[in-house]
Amino acid sequence: MDHGLAERFERERPRLRAVAYRLLGSLTDAEDAVQETWLRLARTDPAAVDNLDAWLTTVVARVSLNALRSRAARREDPLDVRLPDPVVDADDPAHAAVLADSVGLALLVVLDTLSPAERLAFVLHDMFGVPFDEIGPLVDRSPAAAR
């Protein structure tokens, strides 16, 4: 594995974790999705990847979408009311306050009401500015349907 590629991945890890967390609502599941993304990158020829940031975002989104679909297929029902894991950045209290304001637990509770494809489209477009032309193929829909 190319050392430079590992460094680039580590620089992107917080963003990838944020994408996965907003889709999955669980820090543990988000870390699993990011780790699976790393494993897929390790098995890929880096020369075949034109835009690493876009490739990583696509892979972590697909891994997260598959996890959401798997939850629905297994009909995982929690014993208690399940709230998404809160995100706390102990190293930077200001960042934690901004994050809490911008993406509160209420938003994650609302996201839980969406289907996996709807949730992916919402998070990628509204939170990360990914155009619907790119989201449509990820969720196996036309750009208009993804909108």
CA-nearest of 7, 141, 142, 139 to 61 is 139
Burial class (CB in 10 A: 0-12, 13-18, 19+), 13: middle
How far, in Å, are 26, 33, 61, 72, 145 from residue 30 at the CA level?
Answer: 6, 5, 10, 17, 26
Q: What is the pLDDT of residue 63?
A: 94
pTM: 0.59
* DSSP character string of 36-59: HHHHHHHTS-GGG-S-HHHHHHHH
Q: Where are the domains of the chain?
A: 3-146
Q: What is the pLDDT along the chain (147 residues), one digit of tens a residue?
A: 577 888 999 999 999 998 899 888 888 999 999 999 999 999 988 888 889 998 999 999 999 999 888 876 666 555 455 555 555 555 566 556 555 555 556 566 667 778 888 888 887 887 778 888 888 888 888 888 877
Q: What is the pLDDT of residue 74?
A: 64
Contact (Cβ atoms closer than 8 angstroms) between residue 116 and residue 69: yes
